[in-house]
Structure 1
Amino acid sequence: MNTLLSIKTRNNVLLTMAQLLEKERAAIISINKKDLEAYKGDDISMFDRLKVDNSKVDEMIAAAKHLASQEDPVGVERFRFKHDNGMQVYNKTASFGTILIIYESRPDVTVEAAGITFKSGNKILLKGGKESLNSNLKIVELWHKALLQNNASTDWVEYLQFNRTETQAFLEKPTQKVDLIVPRGGERLIAFVKQHATCPVIISGRGNNFVYVDKEADLEIAIAIILNGKSKISACNAVDKVLIDENLPNKEAFINKLISKLNTAKIQVLGDAIVSKNHQLEEIASNEVWYEEFLDYKIVVGEIASNEAAITMINKYAGGHSSVIITKDSDKAKVFMENVDTGVVYHNASTRFTDGSQLGLGGELAISTDKLHQRGPIGLQHLVTNKWYVHGNGQTRS
């Protein structure tokens, strides 16, 4: 068992990590090139997430420094109560213990997600994908250096070099205590972890996000938000579906303009039965496409009868991640935001803001589409459980 490190030590490890990332910047980028050259798959979004350049190293350094500046999330008092018999009762935040992060392709997870996990007092088990192995091992080497420089055990950060069979065996029968698992990746990875894990899992990462353009929308805002939502196709906060109110004034001209702008951005536009017929687009093969997260240069545009119909459709097909209403009607926006069942709901703003750093958390472990124990971006203050502290002087219950 690892004894909880003092907040001073945890912060110093994070600051040392930031210094080492800067010092080893060129080496990290060079080693990452080996991973990029070795990647033979055709998943463009995975390749995008795999790449580490100067700006990505800058983000890693900023994440480590910001985490070091944040308040300790452990030991925060959430509730207090004085019993009639004199006992003093407190409920305080506590670390989980050991957290396993299973992830694909993104070496920055080895810094940011691990950093959040470490700052909140947890031991970290990292299981990255084989495509980013060299990059991940280099970053874990820096974690170990940072820990040793601050007289902390390297056991706090452990990298599991498991293949799929070994990972399944570990999930089903862990060889050490695991309190929480966070899978970061595509739907197949998440399904694999859910199927085999024997401890709690935070489900994260599936997007398939919708934008609803209400009949009272500002059309310039609508186009800007849809284009921005498709500006990074590898992100889980990307837009895949657009619903346009059938009563929108100048609807056909708006759809033509939207299609033109998307095509200029090299986005393939598919339509539902009505939009494809009216605008000479390829029609979606079936309604099953509404369920799909694309992670590709592809988007579906369809017509919808009303705000209520949009809410129903989003609740049926979306991934539980993010959704947007574009409207000048604040009452209609309120109805949409209260009734759409996604972790983040937007009024006249882009889904690309669904990100821990953008929503004030400083960083994120994951974006949860579950409802327990935290929904949406999971930051430092959410990566804790709680514990009851009861102080007495001999009380017994009659």
Structure 2
Amino acid sequence: MAFRSIFDFSALQTEFDNAGINSHFIPLIWKHVLANPDCKWDEISSLPSAAYSLLKSKFLPLTSTLHSVAHSTDAVTTKLLIKLQGGALVEAVIMRYDTRLGKYGGKPRPGGPRSTLCVSSQVGCKMGCKFCATGSMGFKSNLSTGEIVEQLVHASCISNIRNVVFMGMGEPLNNYSALVEAIRVMTRSPFQLSFKRITVSTVGIVHAINKLHCDLPHLNLAVSLHAPVQDIRCQIMPAARAFPLEKLMVALHLYQKNSQQKIFIEYIMLNGVNDEEPQAHQLGKLLETLEVVVNLIPFNPVGIASQFKTSSAEKVKCFQKILREKYNIRTTVRKEMGQDINGACGQLVISEQTKMLAESSDLVTDIEDLHL
């Protein structure tokens, strides 16, 4: 029998309840593991005697290991390749920012240095987005709650994580139960992240969006829209056929009505595909009745196999200007980070798995690493 992660909350709580152990010991155990990832259970003091035998027989402090770490030359991005108990590899990316740089609303920005962690929710992905490295892997498996949370544990040994974004490998809302439980763990002691500092990105799984606010109130929602009309979405995002744009927009209006929060819109700029002026107007009209922040993402093609090209800086600027000036939509342009360490999610995994075949140069870029 495979051991479970100590961060698999439901399994741990069930075992404690069955053994008559008070669940208030769980945060104490997590706190010790967070500070001592390589610990032995006997090193934790003040637990009931029954807890030690239970933990030794069924749980591990960490079921995953840090396979490798890659740092960008500018030291703002660190990519973690994490090996799961079953041997599969997933990625997590630490992105460092100083919020004092630049201005917002003409005034100096508050805050200071912070780190955002981009986590994976699945091994591979079944969405098949044509611009995405992870999509080229196909779907392998869902991560457990513990495997998701352990990415935060590994990253916390490297940097003080303030924000978490579910924009790594996989479609988070296709692993809904583990996602919800992992976020609840992250907002409890000892992690104590705020819901407002956690963002979940989705291609638009309508039925899950309709549940999300009830299960995780105050969470940030990001939507990988990437096109203002259904036919273009289907061309570059095959999964869009199952979630028509009309139904997605109804779900987003309902989500915003219930949550009273802005929605983040991710829009990758593909030359000649979705970056023309008429499409900027279509996008503006589609979103003008919502409170949104649009993040325009310059596409960074990797390898000659990519079927897409990068939009010119002029096109991106024009697209942004139309959204801002004609539709009063707050619009930002993604800052590219970690290009020298294969900044796209999925690239390190695929590179590792195909290293002996020297195929890493044929990968396409995945854009699911939005910084917020």
Same structural fold, with TM-score higher than 0.5 when normalized by the shorter chain: no
Looking at both structures, which has the greater relative contact order when contacts are Cα pairs under 8 Å and sequence separation is at least 6?
1
Larger Rg: 1
